[in-house]
Structure 1
Amino acid sequence: MHSCSLFAIAGLLLALSSPAAHAQWVWKDNRNQVHASDLPPPRDIPDKNILQRPTPGNPPRAAAAAPAPSAVASDARPEPRQRVDPELEARRQRAEQEQAAQRKTEEARQAAQRIENCNRARDALRQLESGMRIARINEKGEREILDDQARAAETQRARDVAASECR
């Protein structure tokens, strides 16, 4: 035997027997290099190049839900599960909760503003429809009484606001 193939066999045996690596999958790539991992090999690795699969009693940490080797079809290997950092996941969930709370607060503020606008529009509409004379202060600081045309315009504006805000 050549010394090169002896090194390859020794490396393979070392990779297969190394408990420290916790590798469950061992395969050869297209350049005949041996790889060991707790994740399944890439999809382009043919089934004949997979040298070791996880044992049914000892599933890999990242692919605990992977089916037993006999249940794996030749071209349908399980998708590797992405590893999620628990701290990162907790931060993401807190950020989502904060955003949801902010949306809820903003929606409540807008609802309160709509109620306020509705009440003001209804009050203004009652005053305008009461028939009493209504006086306003103009930009010069002078008091002026609304004529019929101005009263009709204000009444229509109050109705529009009430229709849009009072749901």
Structure 2
Amino acid sequence: MDFKSFTRNLILLVASTSCMHAALAQWQWIDKDGRKVFSDRAPPAEIPEKNILKQPGLRAPLPAADADAAPAAAAPLVANKAGTPKIPGKDTQLEARKKQAEDEENAKKKAEEEKLAKSRADNCERAKKGLVAVQSGTRLSVINAKGEREFMDDNERAKETKRLQGIADSDCQK
């Protein structure tokens, strides 16, 4: 192997090693809400230097400026875990979907109530017409199971009146 190819291979090895090191570069910091953030990018400018825990090229966490800095950085994490989580904002799409589903459910309930009210009104009207016919005193006939016409006697008329009055009482209420 000549010197030129050896040098080229060495340069490629060094370049690939530094690329791998750059790919493994990680940043760690504590954000303004007290949560630990891991990223391959540097933290935003508003993050103070004391909250940066790890930078690329450093194996150990950064030393604290003073002894009180580390507990102060860890305190918001404990406070957040003990209390309710702080939500940075509302998910507007989720809220919109919830409202849409709620509106659809209300519309279904309203349609069912309207259908039931219409059915009751129809039953009420039929029961009233039937009561008028039964109480009119005219001869009424019914068709029996054999397909023959039979006229209602006083007992059948009383039963039919009672049945129609029960329907009218239940369905004609407002």
Match in the other structure for 2:113: 107
Aligned-pair identity in percent equals 36
Q: 1:20 aligns with which of 38, 41, 44?
A: 44
Mapped partners of 1:82, 1:135: distance in 2: 76
CA apart distance, 1:121:
0.3
Q: 2:80 aligns with which of 27, 41, 61?
A: 41
Q: 2:132 aligns with which of 126, 136, 157?
A: 126
Q: Given that residues 135 and 145 in structure 1 are in contact (C-alpha distance below 8 angstroms), is that contact kept between their aligned partners in structure 2? A: yes
Match in the other structure for 2:168: 162
CA apart distance, 1:42:
2.0
Question: Does the residue aligned with 1:89 lie in a helix, a strand or coil?
Answer: helix
1:42-95 Cα shifts (integer Å, max 9, x gaps): 22xxxxxxxxxxxxxxxxxxxxxxxxxxxxxxxxx7763485421111111101
Match in the other structure for 1:137: 143
Is 1:146–2:170 an aligned residue pair? no
Could you say which structure has the higher helix fraction? 2
CA apart distance, 1:20:
2.2
**Structure of larger gyration radius:** 2
Mapped partners of 1:41, 1:102: distance in 2: 42
Q: Given that residues 134 and 145 in structure 1 are in contact (C-alpha distance below 8 angstroms), is that contact kept between their aligned partners in structure 2? A: yes
5 Å-filtered alignment, 1:19-98, equals: 20=44, 35=74, 41-43=80-82, 80-81=86-87, 84-98=90-104
Mapped partners of 1:135, 1:90: distance in 2: 60
Question: Does the residue aligned with 2:44 lie in a helix, a strand or coil?
Answer: coil
Mapped partners of 2:155, 2:88: distance in 1: 70
Which ranges in structure 1 are unaligned for 5 or more consecutive residues? 1-10, 27-31, 44-76
TM-score, with structure 1 as normaliser? 0.57
Which ranges in structure 2 are unaligned for 5 or more consecutive residues? 1-26, 33-41, 52-70
Aligned pair count? 117
In the superposition, relative to structure 1, how do residues 162 and 22 fare at CA in structure 2: closer, same or farther (>3 Å)?
farther
1:89-129 Cα shifts (integer Å, max 9, x gaps): 11111010001011111111111111000000000000000
In the superposition, relative to structure 1, how do residues 140 and 132 fare at CA in structure 2: closer, same or farther (>3 Å)?
same
In the superposition, relative to structure 1, how do residues 139 and 82 fare at CA in structure 2: closer, same or farther (>3 Å)?
farther
In the superposition, relative to structure 1, how do residues 92 and 23 fare at CA in structure 2: closer, same or farther (>3 Å)?
farther
Question: Does the residue aligned with 1:131 lie in a helix, a strand or coil?
Answer: coil
CA apart distance, 1:16:
7.4
